[in-house]
Amino acid sequence: MSVLDKQDTEPQDPVPRKAHQASDGPAAGTGDESSPRRRRSGRSRLPLLLNAVSIALGIGLWWVLAASGFKLPTPPEVVARAGTLIGDGTLEGDVVASLTRVLIGFALGTAVAVPVGFLMGWYTVLRGLIEPWIQFFRTIPPLAIIPLAVVVMGIDETPKIFVIFLAAFLACVISTFQGVVNVDRTMINAARVLGAGDLVIFARVVVPASTPFILVGMRVGLGSAWATLVAAELIAAQQGLGYRMQNAQLYYDLPTIFVGLISIGILGLLMDRVLLLAEHKLTGWQERR
């Protein structure tokens, strides 16, 4: 009998011993599958925990500075003033007025900036015609446009929204333009080889590749819109967070100024987080660190 015959006749365990050990107990497989989930859950909670710690440290530092003699209101004083402004409806009216101006100006600025940026990046002739004016107005702060806006547009809501629109537009158009210019030419050439026309290439290649740049530009434009709000509400405003802060400055009312600052910061942060969520949803294909 040969060695092969002996091996055929000897009884063998159909399942290797290591396989038996690995299959013993349902907890082994479950643990391997659940541990990555636990790690991902821990990583997702870590930024929230760090944010909470950072906010607590900031409030603590603010309280220490106020108690050390700096001309700052303490957190309880600001909370008390916020309660008073909320109770009489003043803060609600100011938030609605400022938020309306920012949303309208930001939405109009973004709606104009995205197509202009695409046209500048896609067509060389239009780039040569439009880009000098974009660069020219970028060097002029939107706040410097306020006197001209008042003379041309009056003192109603139009000049306020226009100044905010300009700030958002100039921030977003450059980012969109850079997104189109930085599209990988290899992908465009590959699409042309496959028979795609300009419209298909634009919709299937250029727009998806430019989306991260557009969203970054929108976030920068949103910050510029909020930064311009206070100065825009210098134009004969009767309500608004910027107006309330400037009015409080005349009476050295620091708690009211802090309420306005914190309100602008919270509103801006919430809107930025909405854009950040949209960025994660629309650019899920992009590698992240």
Reply yes or no on whether the pLDDT at 206 is more than 50: yes
Note the pLDDT of residue 34: 55
Note the pLDDT of residue 281: 81
Average pLDDT over residues 158-181: 90
Reply yes or no on whether the pLDDT at 1 is more than 70: no
Would you place residue 151 in the very low, low, confident or very high pLDDT band (cuts 50, 70, 90)? confident
Note the pLDDT of residue 129: 92
Note the pLDDT of residue 157: 85
Amino acid at 215: L
Average pLDDT over residues 120-136: 89
d(CA 137, CA 156): 23
End-to-end CA distance of the chain: 63
Note the pLDDT of residue 146: 84
Given CA atoms 267, 264, 261, 114 in this order, what sign does their dihedral have?
Answer: positive
d(CA 249, CA 286): 46
Reply yes or no on whether the pLDDT at 233 is more than 60: yes
pLDDT, tens digit, for every residue of 234-284? 777 788 898 898 888 888 889 999 999 999 999 999 999 998 888 888 776
Would you place residue 287 in the very low, low, confident or very high pLDDT band (cuts 50, 70, 90)? low
Give 206 or 112, the one with higher predicted confidence.
Answer: 112
Note the pLDDT of residue 239: 87
In contact, 174 and 138? CB cutoff 8 Å? yes
Global pTM reads 0.76
User: Domain extents for the chain?
Assistant: 27-72, 75-282
Mean of the per-residue pLDDT values of the chain: 81
Would you place residue 100 in the very low, low, confident or very high pLDDT band (cuts 50, 70, 90)? very high
Note the pLDDT of residue 106: 94
Pick the closest to residue 101 from 176, 153, 168, 173 (CA basis). Answer: 168
- Which of the listed CATH numbers 1.10.3720.10, 3.30.70.1450, 3.40.50.80, 3.20.20.140 matches domain 75-282? 1.10.3720.10
